[in-house]
Every structure is written in structure tokens, then in C-alpha cells.
A and B are shown apart, each in its own frame.
Chain A
């Protein structure tokens, strides 16, 4: 049984009058992959940003975050890397990609410039960017959306963090590219023994690659447990609704698609 990496106890986040998240508690072990599922506004990103320590200044936070393995609170870049939804937003348009990766490596691994560039080339190779040495000097606009997202992943990994938080990393990409990015994410995390927190609104995407699943609805964690349990015998009506209304290639072709009936939920 691997060690407990993160324990969230009664986490609540408020922006003035608005409650974004309340009474959320969960546990992740080292090396596990947690998928947080919910629609826009459910609080899933809020939870991830709270863990990362990236909430905006106006947020008031209650509850506790414990990192037993680390023994201290998370340091951005060093302990946790974050991958965001918008590939364009994550990359500095006026810096070469090699510099952006190297900068993180230098800052958090304490290595020199040359070593950092070598490391950057290696990382570009790991995220399957072709001809990494040449592309160190390329700028973000020279890459496609999927490539940019993979470069952002390289930047997130450059500090050798133990936790990776991916906030809807593939929602802005088409299904084929999404498949590549998600596969890659999974592979790299496993290889490095990292812990993964993956946020998505797509329960199928979560089901493919999660050890634990948490479901958020209207600011509450309505379901949490091992993936097989949550998907096989869901306890909350919203989880059941998500599973039943999922559109897949295997669902029988009928005239109308099943919808989530919000009125019937708690």
C-alpha cells in the first residue's frame, strides 16, 4: 500500500458571497490518479486550484490540506506542476519553448543554463515533439494546439514535481489530439511515479484512466471512491445521471438522447 500523498479535509472556498466549494474531503495516495468530474461551475477547478495554491486573491479558504509525504505545503513548480486548458494561455508568446522549459528546470532543480537546455531537449522528446534539439528555439506560434499543450506539459514537468494537476487539459483539442495528449500524460505520470489530479467534464475520459474518481456538483463533492466502485455502483443520483446520459459509439441509435434531469437531483 503506497503512502498517503494528499489529504483534503472539509475544504471550502468562497468569493465574497458566492460559495464555490464546500465541505470537500478526499485522500489520494502517492502514485495514484484522481479524476475530478463536474460541469462548469461545479467547483472542480476551484478544488484543483486550491490544492495548487493558485486561487485568486479575493478567495477565502477554510479546511486543511495535508501533504504527509512531503511534510510541508506545496511549492509551485518544485512539488506541483499545473497543466491548464488553454494551450495559448500557458505559453509565453515571445520566449522560445526551449527557454521556457529551461527556465523552470533552472529555477527548481538548481542546474546551470546548459544543463537546463539539455534537459529541455530531453523533455521535448518525452512529450513527442519531433526533432527536439532543433525545436528548442522555436516559438509557440509555430506549433499546433496539440503540440502546444504537450510543450506546456513539458514545462509542468520540468521542475520534477511529485504532483501533476491537469485542469481540463484536452477540452480545447479535437478527439484525436485529445487521445494523444491524455495517453501521453498517463504514460509520463506512471513512468515518474507521480501523483495525478485530472479535472474533466467527460466521465468517459475519466473512467479510462483513473484509480479514484470524485464527482462535483454545485460546489459539493457528491461522490468519491475507487473508480470501479464509483462507476459500477454509484451512490449519488448525479453520478448515475452522468453515466446514463453519456453519448458513446456503443449506445444504441435512437431518436432522442437521454438528458440529465436536474430537478430530480438533490
Chain B
């Protein structure tokens, strides 16, 4: 039995090789996420952040190490057994347009999780979908729109609605606001913060933008070339960065010079 303070996600000695002749990769990654916590994983492109996200989401298999979700080892789960667990952990992708079947309406997109995990009977779908849309600040009359007919911010909200349909314990967010205008980012981040407060969901937030990380995450891991360069509480790491990678990431954030 898991105790109340047991981590919702534990990653132990995770390694995976990829790239040209397996030179790049993730090496010996260890961290954990407590229930309701937000952990940010920051790094430049090529640092392995997206590979790590896909490993956690079991979209690919690691070469070594293990992944534990709410105490259960999910590293070797495949097929039907894995699919049945998927309602507990969901993902929001970076490019909102690429994350949807171009021919699927909002209704169809949001029906999928209900149908796949049998969370409601078909008569209740519309009600649940409307409620989910309202929860993410969208009007119910978007229900029959196709993805290309929505704005970037609207699409990302639909993606978030899709992710919360199964009431997961953990959501992995892969650069969820990087593809959006800066003026839209605050709204989406606030939406995520509200959802966290309401449901107690844990977030793994992947980003290359430390300003956004600072506003959003309690703890931070900095990846460099597939290894953990630094980790700790966000404020602490940012105030006293110990590695050149962290320095570079801090320095890269555009500063508003008034």
C-alpha cells in the first residue's frame, strides 16, 4: 500500500541511447515527483527533454532503469495492460495543431478518452464534454469545430481538456506554451495552476524557457546532454546556478529593458 507521501512518479537509473550511432542519449536519470507537485525539466534542444517525456509516457522503451507510477512499476507494461493504466497519466504536447487528428472535431477528440476508458455511457458524452470545455474556459459551441478552425490558445485548451478527462494523477506537459504567443501564455499557465489547485494533479513541465519555469514550477531539474546537471527548488537553483548550462539558460531569457 502506498503511504500518502509516496511519490506519484519515480524514475530510477533511466537510460536510453538514440541518435546517430547511439552517441546521444539519456544517462542514469533519477528523480521523483510528489502528488500535487510541479517538477520542471529544463534544457536546450538536444538535451534529452523530449526523449525523457516520451519514456515517462511509455511511448518508447528505455534501455535501462525503471519508471514507477503511484508505486507500480510500469517499465515493462505493454499492450492491453499498459493501455488500461493510461487513464492515470496523460500528456499535453508542444504543437497544439500537430497533436490532433486534422479530421477530428473537438467533440470526437474529447469523446476518445471517455470511450476508451469507459468513463460514461454514450448518452452522457455531450454533457461531460461541455463541462470539460467550460472547465478550460471554452464555449460549448466549439464542439463541432475542426482543429485548424481554432486559435493556438484554443487548441491548447482543448488539449488540456482532453488530458484531464480521465482525471489523471500526473500530466506531462511538453513545452505547452512555447508555440503560443507570449500574450496567450499567461492564461494557459493560470488555467493549469487552477486545475492543479482543484484536482491535486502533479505536473512534469518540460521547457526551455526559465522565466515560465520559475512562474510555474516548485522544483527544477536542468538537463545537459542527457544528464542531470542540477536539481533542486526552482528559486534556489535560479538564484545560485552552479553549472554553465543553467547559466546559459538563465542568460538566454529575454529581458524587458524599460
Contact = CB atoms under 8 A, between A and B. Distances in A.
Interface string B240-252: 0000000011111
Contacts of A41: 151
Contacts of A179: 251-252
Interface residues of B, number: 36
Contacts of A176: 44, 208, 248-249, 252
B86 interface: no
Contact of A174 (B208, B215, B235): B208
A259 B151 contact: no
Given A245-B186, A248-B256, A259-B187, 5 more contacts: A145-B45, A232-B258, A249-B253, A251-B215, A258-B186
A204 interface: yes
Interface of B: 44-46, 151-152, 178, 181-187, 189-190, 193, 208-212, 214-215, 235, 238, 248-258
Interface string A1-35: 00000000000000000000000000000000000
A203 interface: yes
A257 B186 contact: yes
Given A174-B208, A246-B182, A40 B152 contact: yes
A256 B190 contact: yes
A144 B187 CA distance: 31
B257 A208 contact: yes
A174 B254 CA distance: 12
Contacts of A202: 182, 254
Contacts of A144: 45-46
Assign chain A's interface to a size class. Answer: 35 or more
A151 B167 CA distance: 46
Contact of A253 (B186, B187, B235, B249): B235
A257 B190 contact: yes
11 contacts: A144-B45, A175-B252, A201-B181, A208-B255, A231-B258, A249-B214, A249-B250, A253-B215, A253-B235, A257-B186, A257-B190
Given A201-B183, A259-B186, A175 B258 contact: no
Contact of B255 (A204, A256, A260): A204
Contact of B257 (A201, A231, A251, A253): A231
Contact of A205 (B44, B238, B250, B254): B254
User: Top 10 A-B pairs ranked by shortest CB distance?
Assistant: A204-B254, A174-B208, A175-B252, A179-B252, A204-B256, A257-B186, A39-B181, A205-B254, A176-B44, A201-B181
Nearest to A234: B258
A244 to B, nearest CB: 10
B249 A243 contact: no
B208 A175 contact: yes
Contacts of A242: 182-183
Contacts of B254: 175, 178, 202, 204-205, 207-208, 248
B183 A247 contact: no
A49 interface: no
